[in-house]
Amino acid sequence: METLLEKLKTLLGERAAGYTDEYLRLLLGEAEMEALAYTRRESLPSGLEAVIPRMALVMVNRTGAEGVSSQGFSGVSESYLDGYPAEIQAILRRYRKIGVMG
């Protein structure tokens, strides 16, 4: 079975060589913590593990572009997502526990 790090490297393709395993593990850890906080869980359900490398990939893609909403140069423009793509958000919502107010 592939580890989360191996899955992230597969998603990155050739770009994976540009990042250390330590950096990618850090992003995977941050993605897991965000998923746990959002879903209000203490441990990661097995069905949610598939989304962690995809969340980390979004983080990698945003590296160096923090805070940029859009930019344009010589007729070429870029824009960045706010938050995670809808398919990742949908998976996270599926595992979210309902909060209890007391």
Q: What is the pLDDT of residue 100?
A: 66
CA distance linking residue 58 with residue 52, whole number of Å:
10
Mean pLDDT by 10 residues, the chain (102 residues): 92 96 97 93 90 95 61 53 82 86 60
DSSP 70: E
pTM for the model: 0.78
Alpha helices in the chain (DSSP H): 4-12, 21-39, 51-62, 86-94
Burial class (CB in 10 A: 0-12, 13-18, 19+), 102: exposed
